[in-house]
Structure 1
Amino acid sequence: MLAEQPHSAPVQHWGDYLGWSAGLVLLVILVYWLMRQGWKWRSTLQSDLPPLPEAPEDPGPVLLTATGRYHGTTTAGNWLDRVVAHGLGARSLADLTLTERGLLVRRTGEGDLWIPAGALAGARTDSGIAGKVIPSGLLVVTWHHGDGQLDSGFRADHPDQHPAWVAAIEKIAATPAAARTNPTEGTS
């Protein structure tokens, strides 16, 4: 039998490790920067979107309330075309309040979103919005703003509430403006 040859310890090439690590960090920074530039560019493209309506001090008697998450707003019918202007693209925790005068969305970290009753076009449950897919469903509210329609997506903490919200919003959207109290207040 031949004796086994002694082995030397493997040599560490620290220059290679540091070079690859620095390259990876730079790549991550570049990707983040490109994503941020894309977000800013999208906001610039959507700068023609009129300012959001201001919420009234007294939105009226409460019909429904829910807590949950606001998942963003898209152009109506295109669940991947996120609207980022006026802070509509940022996901956040939210408290929803539906009154006869409109829908108030109090968002954590963002300004409140007020959708006047006259702007509500309808509601539905759906599985996705703004690139977010939730098989058990989202509440999607369609509303008029400026020259177009938008879809805003919400996920209530208790998704079994979604059908009641859809029915209530559809009822308000179908109510003629003359039958509502102060139909023009809070519209843009």
Structure 2
Amino acid sequence: MNAALRYALTTEDGAETVRRSQEVTDWGARVAWLVGLVLFVALVYWLMREGWKWRATLQGDLPELPAPPAEPGPERLRMTGRYHGSTTAGQWLDRIAAHGLGARSRAELTLTDEGVTVVRPGAVDFLIPADRIRGARPEKGIAGKVLTEGGLLVITWEHGERLLDSGFRSDRSAEHAAWIDALGTYSPAEPAPVPHDQKHESQHEQEGVR
């Protein structure tokens, strides 16, 4: 290889190296791209947060959650695990956001004659009153959480004028069966209970017919 050819190849390789170096160190474009990505993620997060707040506003008809009793009485069952959220009964994607029911957390459940006490570190504790419990069943998922078949314990209960499904997963899933036996079974195909005011109206109508 003659000297002129070697010089030409060396010059071309050097120019290519400089060009690649310029491409790699084009920090202005990289920073702009990263800033744009961060802004996009922030926008998506903000929209999700506003949507969650709007959902909670739409569910403003739900009353405050019953507080756990100071003296719940003798313990029948206890379970530690996770609370995975609540939905409208039979509609596993219609998540309830009002009053902190949409916040996932660790949970400790205790069954007494008063009902099911749900203690949640970092979230609102509440009671599912015994006279409001409509039953329980195994499920594989609830809004935003899918598990193996039967991996979730769903308790159906009446709150205000709504029927809710609340999903829990025990640290020992074998415990779910005992809770279902204690609370009774509930099928989503069952008709929702008639609100109390409608029950009274129905009774008055029947009395009028008589």
Please, what TM-score do these two structures have when normalized by structure 1?
A: 0.87
Q: Percent identity among equivalent residues?
A: 57
- The whole-number CA distance in structure 2 between the counterparts of 1:35 and 1:161 is 35
Secondary structure (helix, strand or coil) at the match of 1:74 reads strand
The reply to whether residue 133 of structure 1 matches residue 141 of structure 2 is: no
Letter in 2 for 1:69: R
| Residue aligning to 1:6 | 13
- The whole-number CA distance in structure 1 between the counterparts of 2:67 and 2:26 is 61
Gaps spanning 5+ residues in structure 1: where? 172-188
**Worse-matched range after superposition: 95-104 or 162-171:** 162-171
The reply to whether residue 155 of structure 1 matches residue 169 of structure 2 is: yes
| Residue aligning to 1:182 | none
Structure with max Cα Rg:
2
Secondary structure (helix, strand or coil) at the match of 1:83 reads coil
Gaps spanning 5+ residues in structure 2: where? 186-210
| Residue aligning to 1:63 | 76
The reply to whether residue 123 of structure 1 matches residue 120 of structure 2 is: no
Secondary structure (helix, strand or coil) at the match of 2:127 reads strand
2:179 to 156, 161, 165: 165
**Worse-matched range after superposition: 6-15 or 42-51:** 6-15
Please, what TM-score do these two structures have when normalized by structure 2?
A: 0.78
| Residue aligning to 2:33 | 20
Secondary structure (helix, strand or coil) at the match of 1:6 reads helix
| Residue aligning to 2:193 | none
Q: Aligned pair count?
A: 171
The reply to whether residue 76 of structure 1 matches residue 84 of structure 2 is: no
**Worse-matched range after superposition: 36-45 or 8-17:** 8-17
